[in-house]
Structure 1
Amino acid sequence: MINLYQSLTKSWFFATIWMLFVIPSFVLSDDEHHKKCYPPFTCANQRNLSYPFWIPERKECGHPDFKVNCSGDFAEFSRSSVQFQILENKGSSIILAIKDYQSNLCPRHPENVEINHWTVGITGRRSYFVSSALRSWDRSILENSSASCERNVSIPVSRYALSIEDGNPTLEAIEKALKDGFEVMFTTECWECKQSQGSCGYNDSSRSFVCYCVDGPHKRTCFRKSETSHHPRDHQLKALVQLKQYSYSEVKRITKSFSHTIGTGGFGTVYGGNLCNGRKVAVKVLKNFKSNGEDFINEVASMSQTSHVNIVSLLGFCYDGCKRAIVYEFLENGSLDQFISKKSSLNLDTSTLYGIALGVARGLEYLHHGCKTRIVHFDIKPQNILLDDNLCPKVSDFGLAKLCEKRESILSLLDTRGTIGYIAPELVSRIYGRVSYKSDVYSYGMLVLEMIGARNKETVETAASDASSTYFPDWIYKDFVEGDHTWVTGDATKEEKEVAKKMILVGLWCIQPCPANRPPMNRVVEMMEGRLDAIEVPPKHSLQLSAAPLAESSWLSEENSDYSEVLL
């Protein structure tokens, strides 16, 4: 009896220990997963790696196929028998290089590399294959070179790395392109989880992505549908149910009573602040909005439907009585105008400017062609292009944006929208054509021309004081046709000159007065990524009012502006 009692006592004791230590660990496991996977980790040359990558002590924080090795100079992972080095991590995209090609153009065991078959969503549209028989126009770039390997394989390289070369690239250019790597972008699954303050991970049982949240794992994000709202116009915000809604008192706390102003816009003042988890944010408090809150609804509804590396991320909003505020990600480097204005001492090289221009083009391409509902921005200008700490551009300020179904190419506007100097002519006078998403294309063209210094030319500054001064793209066109590029390129290298000339041509095409002659943004991206000699010089059209309709160009008319994605 005593032994039985002791046995029962011991059992009770162990049961108590189990309940005290084991059960709480189960209760806290979800929150622990969130805490464990939330911060990025360091691996070799990379300091901010996160999902889908993982190391043994963070196995639940990554996809099984992306275990990284940190023992060498570079963070590395293997797919099939191919080893990849992570050269650069940009957050939503990464630059990879194939290890075998870092020291030998013809490695001992070459393998075809097809990134679109990876189990984690990846897009490699920024890259193309060195050797490919899939498309007649994209045959092996090695076929006319002196390279001789035992077998031909397809491997991705940077589209830009080889597009600036004349004719067939040299072996040196190919070797450099292989060493520089190629860029891939992960799909939005993890991005959406992080935007909801979650941590990305993987569920081995269901073999699927999981978003770890403080209240437990979720399939996609930590957002929960908000309770029924009592605001009279909340039916217009039905798309925002997954966004964090802040009270005005919370906005004051985030901004420390609006103590740090970081900018002003047409619809309000932007303040710096911090969320409770320490994340830096920008808070735009609207003023002078229309009585029905149309500007606010436009901006929040537009931003809530976007998910792209080149579009500023919306984190939440305030719709509290008559108070309106928008909370979005904070960008370290502010707006583009700080870098390209005449007063700025911050000079960006041609390659960086090209990268920014291309990023903006991709962002607009996404708004026009990648969203379920097309978004026309109507106010593209340097002040509305924000730059992160890697100078990655993000389109912001959607206060003038208009949503339309994709089948609607023509928009109806009751008032003129945009900023003088960037506004499309059809927004001022219908003589130039109907308002459409091509209005953003015009603004983008003016932005690109300003970025490469065209508007800072001394002769323009002098002419600007003259009422009869020449419309500045006219003399850009004249100088370009006559071969005067020194005012743009200066002592630049051959590659930089090629890039600058390409940006000028793209800009001139985008500012064609006739909207039908402007390329759509997907064609603009194609032109920016392609070869200079593939872009024709656009026709010269002076921006002058005329009773006659403007003629369409045969090279870039609506009917001839077909676009095909480069899919890998």
Structure 2
Amino acid sequence: MAIFQGILLLIVLLLVPMAAAATVVGVGRGAEEQDPECLPTSCGKQDGPEIRFPFRLKGHHPNHCGYPGFDLSCIHHSKFPVLELPFSVYAFVKHIDYKSQTISISDSEPQVCLPRQLPNLNISAFPFQFLTNYFYKDVSFINCSHTLYEPRIACLSDQSHQVYAVINSYNSLYVSCTKMYNMSLPYEIFRYYYRNITFDDLQLNWSKPECRKCEARGQNCGFKNNNNSSSSKSQLLLNGSTECFDKPRQPSMGALTKLKIAGAVVGPTFLLLVVIAIYHVYRSNKMKKADQVKIDKFLEDYKALKPARYSYADIKKITNQFEDKVGQGGYGIVYKGKLSNDVYVAVKILNNVKGNGDEFINEVQTMGRIHHINVVRLVGYCADGFRRALLYEFLPNNSLEKFIASDQQKRSLGWKKLEDIALGIAKGIEYLHLGCDQRILHFDIKPHNILLDNKFNPKISDFGLAKLCSKEQSVVSMTTARGTVGYIAPEVFSRNFGNVSYKSDVYSFGMLLLDMVGGRQNTETQNTSECYFPEWIYKRLDQGEDLGIQIEEDGDAKIIRKLTIVGLWCIQWYPVDRPSMKVVVQMLEGDGDTLIVPHSPFASTNPMPMTGTTGGRTFNSELEVISESE
């Protein structure tokens, strides 16, 4: 690449004296065919886009050389021209494709911050349009005083406030943030580079003036009769009629002889220019290598949101030869690891047993498309021969199971924090069911798979049993039961209860809520091995008796009652009787006073009515059997 640039530069330097000689001897007829005031130009000496009709360079081309709204300007330090749009909106033009009538604009230059200018952009007064094949999203720009795991607008942020672009602005974490404005924007323009968004290579096109036929013929385009007097040229901007012009012709053989003589005269000067060009190419190449080193270090330090692939040698280095073991289960062993710049990860080394291949592929494929505050982020993976590992963000407070095993441990968190944890888990599951391109069914929701960060925010983990299906078709076909005993929905074991669907995750979440309330080792249920805690607590709740759970502060009893009722709604035996996760989130966000205790899920032999009522809210579930999407 550097050699090619050097050769290209030498050719340009060679043509400079030749072009000068051509001007002296008056060769070529291009000036007769196209207005000499409107000849193409560019910003800088190389790599910048060619500026010609319908664009014009302000300060270089007269008004009649360009179409209204296509004005470009050059600034002294950039090879890219600046496009001036209505209402003081501007951006750098990185590329102009005259054949397809498309331009690429960017805010990568430090002077431009497109997100700051978006509210001023008036599409009706805008001569360019976004490409029609873009997929649009309603985006909210919010200003927060605290850090979020959301795409960050670097050019709008400072040390005290961070500005983020979010698709779903209803998240409870955004309550303390200030919404700046909403925009409907093409989803493709977002580049997620370590939570910093840049608007780079945004594609726009124009329909008028139409110059494609000229480009197809190898000709230039311009206003009709653009050789008229200045008074008539002003009229051209009003009627907008265009025609094609021949490009300047090559000089004749006689002119080439004169050019050779001119080249011999300036030979020593040309040799000096060659030396300068070689030095310039060397220096430019050296600077590019230095920039690449910076980029590589940045990628190594922070890692991209897209999972990265590591070798097994990398895994040993990251874990310091598997020094710090933090957990172990049937899936394998988890070690604490460290990337550069004190970025910690949890490294799960998978057991080399049958079935791990499917679960490994499933988890990488599923986690690679998820980005939510209540779902563990997959940093990377290793598939080195028969050795497989998954790298997650490190969460220092371990799993929820650790904090609900006894009343003493639950008191260390407090019921208000447990309520927040329950709501966070529900929002994470709702995101899996509704927030992705395909519905993700987890099939293993349990306290062990809920991890807590340093602020005790919950994050759903372990997607080895997850399934993907269309959002319009919610039910999956399964040949074998999957999940953990005690949290598996009845229909997973027997289709007599209904079809396997996203409602199976709702059942598991309900059992998790009841675990948070009373645990599987509740002291009042240990007297008999046949007493089932959910049934025991339902009878107490239905008869208005004390639930027998120790409370510390005012309001704890209300929280316990709300979690219990929501949990009982979720564990109804028949899927049609369970609410969706969207309704569950609404129930948990409410104050709980309007919640109605459901029918007993343990005594019914027939499903409840298709439409259920929960505190004035209704939900209806008619499920259609489909095949799972692998």
Q: Is the 8 A contact 2:150 2:164 kept in 1?
A: no
Per the alignment, residue 447 of structure 2 pairs with 382
**Do structure 1's residue 476 and structure 2's residue 537 form an aligned pair?**
yes
Aligned counterparts of 1:528 and 1:343: Cα–Cα separation in 2: 22
Q: Deviations over 1:507-553 (max 9, x none)?
A: 11001111111111111111111231332211112178xxx653445
**Do structure 1's residue 358 and structure 2's residue 423 form an aligned pair?**
yes
Per the alignment, residue 502 of structure 2 pairs with 437
Per the alignment, residue 508 of structure 1 pairs with 568
- Distance 1:291-1:203 versus aligned 2 partners, 3 A rule: closer
Q: Deviations over 1:25-78 (max 9, x none)?
A: 99xxxxxxxxxxxxxxxxxxxxxxxxxxxxxxx99999759xxxxxxxxxxxxx
**Do structure 1's residue 550 and structure 2's residue 607 form an aligned pair?**
yes
* Deviation at residue 345 of structure 1 after TM alignment: 3.9
**Do structure 1's residue 339 and structure 2's residue 403 form an aligned pair?**
yes
- Distance 1:522-1:297 versus aligned 2 partners, 3 A rule: same
Per the alignment, residue 49 of structure 2 pairs with none
Query: 1:257-296 to 2 correspondence within 5 Å?
Result: 257-290=321-354, 293-296=357-360
- Distance 1:206-1:290 versus aligned 2 partners, 3 A rule: same
Aligned counterparts of 2:322 and 2:620: Cα–Cα separation in 1: 49
Moved more, 304-313 or 271-280: 271-280
SS in 2 for 1:366: helix
Q: Is the 8 A contact 2:348 2:389 kept in 1?
A: yes
Aligned counterparts of 1:186 and 1:419: Cα–Cα separation in 2: 45
* Deviation at residue 419 of structure 1 after TM alignment: 1.0
Per the alignment, residue 414 of structure 1 pairs with 479
Per the alignment, residue 312 of structure 2 pairs with 248
* Deviation at residue 562 of structure 1 after TM alignment: 5.9
SS in 2 for 1:534: coil
The one-letter amino acid paired with 2:419 is Y
The structure 2 residue matched to 1:423, chosen from 465, 488, 491, is 488
Q: Is the 8 A contact 1:282 1:327 kept in 2?
A: yes
* Deviation at residue 477 of structure 1 after TM alignment: 1.0
Aligned counterparts of 2:386 and 2:599: Cα–Cα separation in 1: 50
The one-letter amino acid paired with 1:360 is I
Aligned counterparts of 1:342 and 1:367: Cα–Cα separation in 2: 30
Per the alignment, residue 436 of structure 2 pairs with 371
Q: Deviations over 1:302-361 (max 9, x none)?
A: 111111000000111111111111111001111111111128646211110011000000
Q: Is the 8 A contact 2:319 2:335 kept in 1?
A: yes
Q: TM-score, normalised by structure 2?
A: 0.53
* Deviation at residue 185 of structure 1 after TM alignment: 12
Q: Is the 8 A contact 2:325 2:335 kept in 1?
A: yes
- Distance 1:532-1:274 versus aligned 2 partners, 3 A rule: same
Q: Deviations over 1:215-253 (max 9, x none)?
A: 4999xx979xxxxxxxxxxxxxxxx99531111111111
The structure 2 residue matched to 1:522, chosen from 559, 570, 582, is 582
Aligned counterparts of 1:186 and 1:122: Cα–Cα separation in 2: 12
Aligned counterparts of 1:264 and 1:249: Cα–Cα separation in 2: 21
**Do structure 1's residue 200 and structure 2's residue 211 form an aligned pair?**
no
Moved more, 419-428 or 387-396: 419-428
- Distance 1:556-1:253 versus aligned 2 partners, 3 A rule: farther
Q: Is the 8 A contact 1:471 1:543 kept in 2?
A: no
Q: Is the 8 A contact 2:309 2:382 kept in 1?
A: yes
- Distance 1:203-1:376 versus aligned 2 partners, 3 A rule: closer
The one-letter amino acid paired with 1:430 is R
Q: Is the 8 A contact 1:334 1:386 kept in 2?
A: yes
Per the alignment, residue 227 of structure 2 pairs with none
Count of residues paired in the alignment: 383
Per the alignment, residue 305 of structure 1 pairs with 369
**Do structure 1's residue 498 and structure 2's residue 562 form an aligned pair?**
no
Aligned counterparts of 1:441 and 1:375: Cα–Cα separation in 2: 13
The one-letter amino acid paired with 2:477 is S
SS in 1 for 2:549: helix
The one-letter amino acid paired with 2:612 is W
Q: Is the 8 A contact 1:289 1:296 kept in 2?
A: no
Q: Is the 8 A contact 2:359 2:464 kept in 1?
A: yes
Query: 1:37-436 to 2 correspondence within 5 Å?
Result: 64=116, 88-89=146-147, 91-92=149-150, 120-121=165-166, 123-126=168-171, 181=176, 198=194, 200=196, 215=292, 242-290=306-354, 293-342=357-406, 345=409, 347-436=412-501
- Distance 1:375-1:199 versus aligned 2 partners, 3 A rule: closer
CA RMSD of aligned residues (A): 4.3
Aligned counterparts of 2:446 and 2:468: Cα–Cα separation in 1: 19
Aligned counterparts of 1:344 and 1:60: Cα–Cα separation in 2: 55
SS in 1 for 2:389: strand
Q: Is the 8 A contact 1:337 1:382 kept in 2?
A: yes
Q: Is the 8 A contact 1:93 1:186 kept in 2?
A: no
Structure 1 spans left out of the alignment, 5+ residues? 1-24, 27-57, 66-83, 95-117, 128-155, 159-180, 208-212, 224-239, 564-568
Per the alignment, residue 145 of structure 1 pairs with none
SS in 2 for 1:452: helix
* Deviation at residue 85 of structure 1 after TM alignment: 9.4
* Deviation at residue 446 of structure 1 after TM alignment: 0.8
* Deviation at residue 289 of structure 1 after TM alignment: 4.2
- Distance 1:183-1:356 versus aligned 2 partners, 3 A rule: farther
The one-letter amino acid paired with 1:429 is S
* Deviation at residue 380 of structure 1 after TM alignment: 0.7
* Deviation at residue 206 of structure 1 after TM alignment: 7.8
**Do structure 1's residue 561 and structure 2's residue 561 form an aligned pair?**
no
Aligned counterparts of 2:356 and 2:524: Cα–Cα separation in 1: 46
Aligned counterparts of 1:358 and 1:387: Cα–Cα separation in 2: 13
* Deviation at residue 88 of structure 1 after TM alignment: 4.9
The one-letter amino acid paired with 2:441 is V
Aligned counterparts of 1:255 and 1:354: Cα–Cα separation in 2: 35
The one-letter amino acid paired with 1:518 is R
* Deviation at residue 432 of structure 1 after TM alignment: 1.7
Q: Is the 8 A contact 1:438 1:518 kept in 2?
A: yes
Aligned counterparts of 1:294 and 1:185: Cα–Cα separation in 2: 45
* Deviation at residue 205 of structure 1 after TM alignment: 11
Q: Is the 8 A contact 2:396 2:454 kept in 1?
A: yes
* Deviation at residue 123 of structure 1 after TM alignment: 4.2
Q: TM-score, normalised by structure 1?
A: 0.59
Q: Deviations over 1:255-307 (max 9, x none)?
A: 12222211123322111101134310011111144358111111111111111
- Distance 1:493-1:157 versus aligned 2 partners, 3 A rule: farther
SS in 2 for 1:408: coil
SS in 1 for 2:432: helix
Q: Is the 8 A contact 2:143 2:164 kept in 1?
A: no
Aligned counterparts of 1:271 and 1:358: Cα–Cα separation in 2: 29
SS in 2 for 1:283: strand
Per the alignment, residue 460 of structure 1 pairs with 525
